[in-house]
Structure 1
Amino acid sequence: MGAMPNEVMMGELNLVWQNVFTWGSWAIVVVMLVIASKMGVKQKTPFYVLACVAAGLGAFIEPLYDVAFDLWFYDVHNGVAGAMYSHFTAFGIVQPNWSHSGYIILYATACLYAGKMIYEGRMTTKLLFMIWLAEISASCVFEMIGTGMGVYTYYGPYVLRLWNYPLVIGVLEGTQVIIFTVLAVQLWRRVSGHAGLLGLIVLFPMTMLGANAGLGGPIIVALHLSEAEFSQGLIWAGTLLTIALCVIAVKGAALFLPSAPLAVEQRSS
């Protein structure tokens, strides 16, 4: 399927909620950066700030995600286009500038509250799954507001929607958080200097596209089958298979959790 209905392109942008998403999310990011900076000074590492920077820069690949997952940001108000606070357009999809703040909030927060615990070898598989569920819940709340209040929409023939928001998207986003956070900390533990942590900027898009296009492959393909091959049953199959792959991925990420503080590992090696 995949063809965008004209009524979606002409969907009305809610200006009030655009302001909430824009100014509210950037205010949260400012708070996050202050916290990340204080944590970094205390622990003598730029890890937390660079994790936020990596996620923010990663939002420039959002158009690829939009095409794959049938996401459309509303840009029309009272029949006139150009109502969105936008900074660029790609693949015909106008991008909101709050996508960068949204990425930082959704994908970097776990580095702030769980990064040190993972670094020190105190994270358990059970706790990692609890964080995964918490991140899925946070993603659902954030995006249910966006899709429910007229800021953007997922127009594809999804199943398991929560107030217009496809649950499978939240599962994928929560999984991306886990994969990025665990691998980011592993990078942190392995680099010898602060400059090596700039690798986070490369790591983020790799995990973002790897998780969503890889684990999300079944639902992406199901959404974009030709009309002759499309069926709701295949959408269900793609959805459930994607969710199952996410569970496997989080279990796999748990295998990369450090089991001891770095100093102990270095002494025993």
Structure 2
Amino acid sequence: MIKAEGTAGQIPLPSAETYALDLSTVMQTIATVGLWGGTIALLLHAIKISREEKSPLAIFIVLAVAAGSIIEPIYDITYHLFWLDNGEQWTLFTAFGLPQPVWVMPAYVIVFALPAVLLYRSFAAGVSLGTIFKWAGVTAFTTALFETIAVNSDLYVYYGEAPWRLLEYPLWISFMECAQITGFAVLCAVIKLRATKPAHMLIVFLVFPANFIFETAGAAFPTLIAMNTPDPSMPLMWAMAVVSVGLAAAGLWWTSNLLFMTQRLARLEGTMPEAPAMTKAQKIGAVL
């Protein structure tokens, strides 16, 4: 890692070796075709749900996450994520000097919108805090698996100093992501309970990026600051990662209690929805 001099000190940047890493064009093709195909399938499923519920919320969830994917460069800068390019990247857009691959948008949809679409209705109908946190554990695992495969398939890297690395992936990130993924599903359940008009449901386009920053920056800030100091201390980063995980859990607890309060109000008003038929994913959650 090299460091660019600024007026307030040194800024961690990718090293020349990182810039020289080759992008796997085979994996780029697989990721592009697979993730865009999955996104189309999820959108069709969301349309089916919306017809059943006579509500556009499921469709809005998918579209909101797709639109919100343009927040990725902010994540890249703070978390030291570098998309491999070497002149062969299929680029969707560039911001902050960081080219974003064409598959970043569908990756967001699959990783962040899919759990919300699968879970928000059952969460709205009634869920325990324990079940919410069990789903957070599931999404921590799936996020770590997805990113570990991507990092080790020459699609992108996390450069510089970072705590809790396993197979080149900083595992602490999966806890930030699982809190925001599960928290987003919880907030979508809140929207389902309180929105009385389709126009009200458009708030999900703000809720997704706001919740994303709430956990991945709000909870993660102690670790991110430790990582971006002129001379990062590994013991300090490890300690701050523990703090960040605690803050992420607290954030998810707070979001969950917002849902519980909304459900109590819905019961008083007689507007609590019936639980939908359980999907395979929800049956897995019940077993957990």
Q: Return the TM-score normalized by structure 1.
A: 0.92
**183-192 vs 56-65, which deviates more?**
183-192
Bigger mean CA offset, 7-16 vs 183-192: 183-192
Matched residues in 2 for 1:16 and 1:216: separation? 33
> 1:261 offset after TM fit, Å?
8.0
Tell me which residue corresponds to 2:57: 47
TM-score (norm 2): 0.86
SS in structure 2 opposite 1:12?
A: coil
1:69–1:156 contact (8 Å) kept in structure 2? no
Aligned residue among 74, 78, 88 for 1:64: 74
Q: Does 2:146 match 1:136?
A: no
Structure 1 vs Structure 2 CA RMSD? 1.7
1:265 partner amino acid: L
Q: How far did 1:50 drift?
A: 0.6
Distance 1:105 1:261 in 2: 31
- In the superposition, relative to structure 1, how do residues 261 and 20 fare at CA in structure 2: closer, same or farther (>3 Å)? farther
What SS is found at the alignment partner of 2:100?
strand
Residues in 1 aligned to 2:166 and 2:36: alpha-carbon distance in whole angstroms: 25
Identity %: 26
Give the count of matched residue pairs: 260
Question: Which of the residues 85, 88, 102 maps onto 2:90?
Answer: 85
2:195/2:201 contact within 8 Å kept: yes
SS at match of 2:70: helix
Unaligned 5+ segments in structure 1 are none
Match of 1:249 among 242, 248, 251: 251
d(CA) in 2 for partners of 1:246, 1:211: 6
Does structure 2 conserve the Cα–Cα contact (< 8 Å) formed by 1:119 and 1:261?
A: no
**1:13 aligned to which of 23, 44, 58:** 23
Cross-structure match for 1:108: 113
Q: By how many angstroms is 1:180 displaced?
A: 1.6
Contact 2:84 2:156 in 1 (8 A): yes
The counterpart of 2:43, out of the listed 30, 33, 55, is 33
Decide which moves more: 128-137 or 87-96. Answer: 87-96
1-structure distance, mates of 2:226, 2:266? 48
Question: What SS does structure 1 have at the residue aligned with 2:176?
Answer: helix
CA distance in structure 2 between the aligned counterparts of 1:261 and 1:43, rounded to whole angstroms: 22
Q: How does 1:234-245 map to 2 (within 5 A)?
A: 234-245=236-247
- The gaps in structure 2 that reach 5 residues or longer are 1-10, 272-288
Could you say which residue in structure 1 is the equivalent of 2:267?
Answer: 264
Distance in 2 between residues matched to 1:156 and 1:127, nearest whole Å: 36
Match of 1:183 among 184, 187, 191: 187
2:118 partner SS: helix
